[in-house]
Amino acid sequence: MPVARPRLSTVSGLLGVVLLLAGSYLGLFVAPPERHMGDVVRIVYVHVPSAWISMLCYTFAFGFAIASLWTRRPRWDHLTTAAVEVGIVLNVLLLVQGMLFARPTWGIWWTWADVRLVFSFLMFLLFAGVLALRAFVDDPARRGTWTAIATITAFVDVPLVYYCVRWWRSLHQMQSTPETMDAAMKLPMRINAFAVLFLAGWFIARRAELERRRQEIDEVAEPAAIPRAGSIAGTGVEA
């Protein structure tokens, strides 16, 4: 059974593309440049939405993982995997965007002093570990259980990692995004946030479907029953 009716996820995808175009247009051409950082800051219009939605994907994955362990139905495993993968893709994009922002602003590709950058990197490592674990397991049932376990364990770590990184660098903060926002800047950001959300939804649905089909190929139907000979009459036992 398909995870989401193709029509629904396609609508979600199309909506996402449209919104992304609208939000990007607004962000690139209509919104004013930021006071201090100039045009470079426009990356924030994809950067911040990516951050929100990647966290949201991980949260979805957490929910799917719990469902997977609770119900033991493969459908939830497909969804968990899909959500983790989409979350990781967004996470990687996030890191790249962060580096693209840091370079012109501070002249360096990477800094350990930026809480958000470090935090997103650690998120990536955490959830990449989930996918790594998957790759080493052959049996689909066990793979599903272990993926769910790893996802839940990783997700519980998120707040702990967050506080850790924040306190670690509390004395030396470098902001990767400006704190104050013009109202005119908030709109494209929100539009893009929804855009990325819908696109992510579409990707998750498609990926889960792909996973389901892959598993189906590996499924082999029970062989036909062979006729059974003999009878137990006379052994004093009921059938």
Tell me whether residue 57 or residue 196 sits nearer to other proteins (CB atom).
57
- What is the Cα–Cα distance from 81 to 77, expressed in whole angstroms? 6
Apex 43 CA angle, 200 and 94, nearest 5:
45
Report how far apart, in Å, the C-alpha atoms of 166 and of each of 54, 159, 163, 179 are. 19, 11, 5, 16
Residue 229 within binding range of other proteins, rule CB under 8 A = yes
Identify which range of 6-14, 31-39, 78-86, 133-141 contacts other proteins by CB under 8 A: 133-141
Closest distance to other proteins from the beta carbon of 63 (Å): 16
Question: What's the min distance (Å) between Cβ of 225 and other proteins?
Answer: 4
Binding segment toward other proteins, per CB under 8 A, in 40-48, 53-61, 192-200, 221-229: 221-229
Instruction: Tell me how far apart the alpha carbons of residues 216 and 78 are, in angstroms, rounded to a whole number.
Output: 12
> Who contacts 9 (Cβ-Cβ below 8 Å, separation ≥6)?
201, 202, 205, 206
- Residue whose structure tokens are 């193709």: 6
Looking at residues 66 to 105 of the shown chain, list those that interact with other proteins (rule: CB under 8 A).
69
- Distance, in Å, from the CA atom of 124 to the CA atom of 5, rounded to the nearest integer, reads 30
Q: CB–CB of 90/50 below 8 Å?
A: yes
For residues 136-195, which are near other proteins according to CB under 8 A?
136-139, 141-142, 145-146, 149-150, 152-154, 156-157, 160-161, 163-165, 167-168
| Closest to other proteins by CB, 183 or 221 | 221
Binding site for other proteins (CB under 8 A): 69, 122, 125-126, 128-130, 132-133, 136-139, 141-142, 145-146, 149-150, 152-154, 156-157, 160-161, 163-165, 167-168, 218, 220, 222-223, 225-226, 228-232, 234-239
